[in-house]
Structure 1
Amino acid sequence: MMTRRILGFAAMLYAGTAMVPMPALAQAPAAAAAATMPANYPALASLFQDWRRTLLPELADGRADYSPAAMARLGDGLKTYRQRLAAIDRSGWPIAAQTDYKLVEAEMNGLDFDLRVLTPWARDPSFYANVFADWSDVPAHEGPYAHPNINLYEFKYPLNAADARRLTTLLAAVPANLAAAKANLAGGNARDLWKYGSRAFEEQSETLAKLGDGTLVMRTLDGPIPAVMTGASPQLKKAIADARAATDDFARWVAAEAPKKTGATGIGKENYNWYVKNVELLPWDWDAQVALLRRELDRSIAALRIEEVRNRDLPPASPATDPAAFQTLLKARQAKFSQFLADTGLIPDAPWSRTAIANQGMDFVAPDKRNFFDHVTAGDPYPLMSHFTHWIDLARMREAPHASPIRRVPPLFTIYSNRSEGFATAYEEILMHAGLYDDIPHGRELVWIMLANRAARGLASLYVQSNEMNLDQAGKFHAEWTPRGWSDPDSRLVGFEQLLYARQPGYGPSYVTGKLQFDQLLAAVSHADERAGRPFVMRDVIGRVMDAGVIPVPLIEAELVPAAGPR
């Protein structure tokens, strides 16, 4: 959970955005879907393909250009794309086509926001940490990162000659890219982004060290995969060593510069509200999100205490103490979990759905070394496994891609966050209410602790964006409001999470705001069914929700309940 996570499909596009299989963008929608699309829909699909290609920064032998001049050219291009988008006549378009249009519009708003406000290439040192070992459990980067992303898990090991040359070229460019980053960041003054900014490069250095000595194991959708370096050429070994040396140098430079920085880290309420409205398409501004997350924090802690009363006569919970026994329990839980999803219809069943869960392991961690999630999984694997419905989303995207050329690829600018993180969080509680813990009463306590932690850290991140807290204060709040003392404000996990949420506005609250949107979506469909005299069939509703894709929840609701009135 602490590692910088990122998805690997094929070719990474714009900084901190999505892995997109570019050949797929050129394909027309599936025949059945195409029949329902308007005659001029191909104009939108063509614009989208051009748009995604334009977002690639200029490259020369793996070196990217994030200079002020290059970013100005990107801004000029955005104006042209906005004009092309506005020129498309949407008269009489069906809701599905309108949804695709709004997704493209939201991405353009995302670039606008980055150019005007976030400017990660100019203010955020972590932006330039671009070597990744692990496949993310969400559709794209958790936060902005520079192109080209060196996604080690995308390569097949041992490397063939072509892949070895490609990886060598990418890694050989790291020193030049980091040297250019120093110039690009010259005016950066966001204090906490610098104070915490060396951490990503310390992690990158560890990754490169393990890659070089052949001990790197990568987390992927298909399970853990070792990066076997048998037969690595002298050129590749040198590129790895040089990239690590440059990474270490950059970490030292960031740490040395950090004490000079005095500026605010948060973007302020006004900018935050623009982002959530126009990019995330979220109906709740900063003030509403604070109120909602406070309510969920209160509710989860109160529910935990009630659960403890309910379990008062039971033997105390006994966290795992033996690695072998824990792995045996995990395998049993995985099989029962997938069957429970299938039996309830709360996730459409498919072979790749079951495999996605079976491939995601959990490590046994000794009691004195546990972070928050280690404490939870030592109690029982189910709560975090419920969050792993993320991986089912990713398996669906790979094995059963959406018909729309716009929805079959991950949205950019973390537009996916409320749908992806929010739904995964929602499933933790949904599966509890559906009976997953009927024979594991103490497991229900873990679910409420998980929600309290997510609400506390999201609330802290909101205060960072409004500049009412710095990251140290946010980490302390985050830990203080996590029950049972399971969150340490000085841990790498808390530092990683709060830095990520400072770097990417809206991400911290999305676990809870997205969960609440899931509740709202089910309520809207239920209400519409009752009004129409139709039965509400959960299995069918969930199938329709998942079929819509990993897109903002209001767009899913508009497709499922097109005639919904005010509430």
Structure 2
Amino acid sequence: MLGAIAMTPAAAVTASSGSSSGTADHGTPIAATGAPPDGRADYKTFTALFEQYEAWRKKAGAGVMADYSPATVDERRERLRRFQAELPRFAVARWDRHQQVDYLAVRAQMDLMDFTLNVTKPWARDPGLYVDELQRLAYKELPLEGDALAELRAQLRAIPAYLTQARVNLDAVAADYADLALHSLSNGDGVGHGMPYRAVEPAGLVGWFADLRGRAEVQQPELVGDIVAAEAAIAGFRDWLAAARPAMTDDAGVGKPAYDWFLRQVRLMPYDSDQIVTLAERELERHWANYTTERHRNRKLPELPLPTSAEEYEAQLAATDAKIRKWLRDEEIITIPNYIPETYQEVGYNAPWIVRPEGPMFWEQVQFRDASPDHLHATFPGHRFDGMTRARVAHPIRRHISDSGRTEGWGFYLEETALQLGLFDDRPRTRELIYIFGIFRAARTIGDVKMQRNEMGVEETMRFWKGWTPYLDDNVARVDAGIYIRRPPGYGMTYTIGAMQLQKLLVDRKRQLGENFSLKDFHDYLMNTGRLPVSLLRYDLTGQDDEIGRLWRHVPLSDVIAG
């Protein structure tokens, strides 16, 4: 039992609505008090505001080849300012803590949009934004009919104008972003993130459109002319970017002041970037020490071999999935709801069987030897399981929010937690793989922070990671560096730091409940509550407000930019 605090958030958060008045009263500005707003508008009105915001946000970024023209971006900035101006008028100081959690989560979502519109500005700084948008078009399965065919044809015909506008928008391109985009235009990533399988990976965006044209020539010839015109526009964009590259010298990172603001106001972290580096350095050393001693302990055992066939790998996946499901049930680790599919094929998995001329890349070096570490993290009860439970969260606010500290933290938390709970007692060499994952996540945390603070570039970060991480190859290092410098800041550090926050929450809850603590109930709470920042979940579950107390004071982003 989770006790009185543990009613489901969908019930707990709607149990009271604060003040019954919905009258507009802006109250006292949050930044002036460092306390929850004490206006007059109630929780029901707040929920309605968020629903309006969420509908606007989804519409603003909807569709392939979204509009990033200066006038449209300015309109979005103004609309966001109007939403943010509403926040001080709510009676948050008189709401219960579950509702206060929702308020901070919504405020953080608006701050994320503010940061995107005014700091990261990918449409102006990152040509890879346009490359990614177009490459997803090339994944379309043919033949198409009806509305789907008409939509693809319209999208293909829009590409020349889209890339012409991109050249106008891209007026502050960062050097690392330009280099990553040029690579992505003409080279495969060697990893296959989100791509359909091909025995020979197409050479970047150019190669994927050639792949689309080749399929259209056989399956849908009426599209070939539009595809050829799109290819010409893509080649022109690539040539323009290559010619303009010498003048593209801006830093890709947001800088330390903006990064620390983002950690506090958007990620709602209890740490600043210096503290995160210190924590990550300690974790890097700890995982390396554990890896070293585990290797010594296993020195007389044979190394884990790579499988020799797809059939052998599929059998390993099936056995791994069955073993983990049985362990979760037998050891009372987490509830497996009846809506979760019963086979790993239905749930899905990360790494298909691929034979690469150069040998397996990093993730395959681990996954092919033993699927358990990644299956826990990414499949069961990691991301795919997590996503299926999240889809059942009905709360009008929490169902829309997904923080990477909670999602990636959960995936990483599962790996070492499973080791500590004995899942790998009969697989000593697999314990080494768990530590290798830990090493890479800690190294990525350091690289993430230092890239965003402009203390390391992509190439330097790749070298740093490869120097620390067994099996790591250039392709995986480049893809990950690109992800963590291009996504909203701090994504790369949320694996290690999010897992540490979940461990802290586990400790807090165990100390709070004593012998009444249930690990299964703790994990079920995480699955059924919504994927909020862990600092908010800590307050929501335990009532401990030492971290939340530091989050109430809201510093506007404009103060950081002006400074």
**Alpha-carbon distance in structure 2 between the residues aligned to 1:501 and 1:260:** 24
Distance 1:233-1:86 versus aligned 2 partners, 3 A rule: farther
* Correspondence 1:334 to 2:318: no
Per the TM alignment, residue 109 of structure 1 is displaced from its structure 2 partner at its CA by 0.8
Per the TM alignment, residue 293 of structure 1 is displaced from its structure 2 partner at its CA by 0.8
Q: Tell me, what secondary structure is at the counterpart of 2:340?
A: helix
* Correspondence 1:545 to 2:526: yes
Which residue identity does 1:341 align to in structure 2?
Answer: L
Aligned match for 2:244, one of 233, 257, 260: 257
**Alpha-carbon distance in structure 1 between the residues aligned to 2:260 and 2:400:** 26
Which residue identity does 2:247 align to in structure 1?
Answer: K
Bigger Rg, which one: 2
Q: Is the 8 A contact 2:124 2:173 kept in 1?
A: no
* Correspondence 1:391 to 2:375: no
Q: 1:5 aligns to what?
A: none
Q: Is the 8 A contact 2:441 2:496 kept in 1?
A: yes
Distance 1:69-1:280 versus aligned 2 partners, 3 A rule: same
Distance 1:511-1:124 versus aligned 2 partners, 3 A rule: same
**Alpha-carbon distance in structure 2 between the residues aligned to 1:87 and 1:233:** 59
Q: Is the 8 A contact 1:106 1:278 kept in 2?
A: yes
* Correspondence 1:523 to 2:523: no
Alignment of 1:395-414 (within 5 A): 395-398=388-391, 400=392, 402-411=393-402
Which residue identity does 1:263 align to in structure 2?
Answer: D
Q: 1:444 aligns to what?
A: 431
Structure 2, unpaired ranges of 5+? 1-8, 21-41, 187-203, 549-563
TM-score, normalized by length of structure 1? 0.80
The size of the alignment, in residue pairs, is: 494
Per the TM alignment, residue 240 of structure 1 is displaced from its structure 2 partner at its CA by 4.2
Which residue identity does 1:428 align to in structure 2?
Answer: E
CA RMSD of aligned residues (A): 3.0
Aligned match for 2:95, one of 93, 96, 100: 93
Per the TM alignment, residue 169 of structure 1 is displaced from its structure 2 partner at its CA by 2.6
Q: 1:369 aligns to what?
A: 359
Distance 1:475-1:60 versus aligned 2 partners, 3 A rule: closer
Alignment of 1:81-230 (within 5 A): 81-131=83-133, 159-185=144-170, 187-202=171-186, 203-214=204-215
**Alpha-carbon distance in structure 2 between the residues aligned to 1:536 and 1:62:** 47
Q: 2:543 aligns to what?
A: 562
Q: Is the 8 A contact 1:528 1:564 kept in 2?
A: no
Comparing 508-517 with 61-70, greater Cα deviation is found at 61-70
**Alpha-carbon distance in structure 2 between the residues aligned to 1:230 and 1:525:** 60
Per the TM alignment, residue 268 of structure 1 is displaced from its structure 2 partner at its CA by 1.3
**Alpha-carbon distance in structure 1 between the residues aligned to 2:360 and 2:101:** 43
Q: Is the 8 A contact 1:319 1:379 kept in 2?
A: yes
**Alpha-carbon distance in structure 2 between the residues aligned to 1:239 and 1:49:** 39
Per the TM alignment, residue 33 of structure 1 is displaced from its structure 2 partner at its CA by 6.2
Q: 1:220 aligns to what?
A: none
**Alpha-carbon distance in structure 2 between the residues aligned to 1:56 and 1:275:** 21
- More helix per residue: 1 or 2? 2
* Correspondence 1:460 to 2:442: no
Distance 1:129-1:276 versus aligned 2 partners, 3 A rule: same
Which residue identity does 1:403 align to in structure 2?
Answer: A
Q: 2:26 aligns to what?
A: none
* Correspondence 1:382 to 2:372: yes
Q: 2:71 aligns to what?
A: 69
Q: 2:35 aligns to what?
A: none
Which residue identity does 1:164 align to in structure 2?
Answer: L
TM-score, normalized by length of structure 2? 0.80
Distance 1:470-1:538 versus aligned 2 partners, 3 A rule: same
Structure 1, unpaired ranges of 5+? 1-28, 134-148, 216-228
**Alpha-carbon distance in structure 1 between the residues aligned to 2:529 and 2:218:** 43
**Alpha-carbon distance in structure 1 between the residues aligned to 2:350 and 2:293:** 31
**Alpha-carbon distance in structure 2 between the residues aligned to 1:313 and 1:31:** 55
Q: Tell me, what secondary structure is at the counterpart of 2:399?
A: coil
> Alignment identity in percent?
31
Q: Tell me, what secondary structure is at the counterpart of 2:270?
A: coil
Which residue identity does 2:445 align to in structure 1?
Answer: G
Note the alpha carbon deviations across 1:122-165, whole angstroms, 9 max, x for none: 111112234488xxxxxxxxxxxxxxx86968x9x864412222
Q: Is the 8 A contact 2:390 2:399 kept in 1?
A: yes
Which residue identity does 2:322 align to in structure 1?
Answer: A
Which residue identity does 2:389 align to in structure 1?
Answer: R
